[in-house]
Amino acid sequence: MATRAHNFFAGPAILPVPVIEAAKEAAYDFAGLGMSILEISHRSKEFDAVVQKAQADALEIMGLSADDYAVLFLGGGASTQFAMVPMNFLRGKAEYVNTGEWATKAIKEAKMLGETIVTASSEDANFNYIPKNIVFSGDADYVHYTSNNTIYGTEFKGTPEVGNVPLVCDMSSDMLSRELDYSKYSLIYAGAQKNLGPAGVTLVVVKKAWVEEKAKGDIPTMLRYKTHVSKESMFNTPPVFPIFVVGKTLEWIKSEGGLGVIQQRNEMKAALLYDIFDAHADFFTATVPNKEDRSLMNVTFRLPSEDLETKFIAEAKALKMFGLKGHRSVGGCRASIYNACPVESVEALARFMEKFMAENK
């Protein structure tokens, strides 16, 4: 295989090499059938086995029971979940925490469907911190938050305390990047293209009892969680190839040693970059000042001038380091170092940063 580039794109993003190799093989000849996985029926026993294993692996990795939780593979991206959650569960009021652009969009969708309260927000400082000591009302239909914010580089390090209120989380950019008590959640959703697989499928993990007892039935069929839970994600033709790749990524997480090992590696990678910022704050400025709020997935930073940032990104690209330009809405630089990003890539970036600083300070 040709030498791999250093991939720091925020999404679609880097995948583990064994997953890419498995996808390449399956795209030509899947399960010895002499047909591509792109060509076979989604009702075939061979593909049914792919879905069932992916669902079982997801639950195993998260420490959840198939008796209590359903794993769904849906289309429409996390953006469709912004509407599906309130369509199904918002009857009285819902509480949201606003920590960035994607949370803002989720709030906008919910407001069209019912009373939506923004209980806490970091908008006052351009979303450069995570709100602390949030006090929820205790009587909402659900509480929603976004665990990791790709644009602003912030991340909840713990799980908000919401009492007995159902907790919903958009984990699109840090799903399965660390150990958590996933049983605290009634619903988790994640667009796959950041930390789980390719664009085209959204992973939803939902508490079955919540769907059975509280989900509405008077909404369009394809937007009902009940539809997809009852048919185990096979009500209509699912995104077959992306599901296969997500399944292989879940297998890879298990083969690496599970979330404990993954988290330790992610913390080490992030420290390689954040330590440079803290040691050389006069040149590399972390956009998230509070260390406890800094994302392990999306490392955001600024240089002394936009001209230097442009030069930094261009010279990095010449060294096959791609995806370091910050989101267009905030500028600056960003290194997305998801699960599949090798330690070697982050080490190479750290060395380049030290060299660039020495030559341009």
Catalogue the active-site residues.
Answer: 102, 170, 194
**Please, are residues 41 and 47 in contact by the beta-carbon 8 Å criterion?**
yes
**Please, are residues 89 and 215 in contact by the beta-carbon 8 Å criterion?**
yes
Strands 69-74 and 202-207: antiparallel
**Contacts of 172 by beta carbon, 8 Å cutoff, 6+ apart:** 78, 102, 146, 148, 150, 189, 190, 191, 194, 195
Please give the Cα distance from 110 to 107 (Å, whole number): 5
Query: How many CB atoms neighbour CB 125 within 10 A?
Result: 10
Please give the Cα distance from 174 to 296 (Å, whole number): 8
DSSP state of 51: H
Count helices and strands (H / E) in the chain. 10, 14
Please give the Cα distance from 281 to 186 (Å, whole number): 41
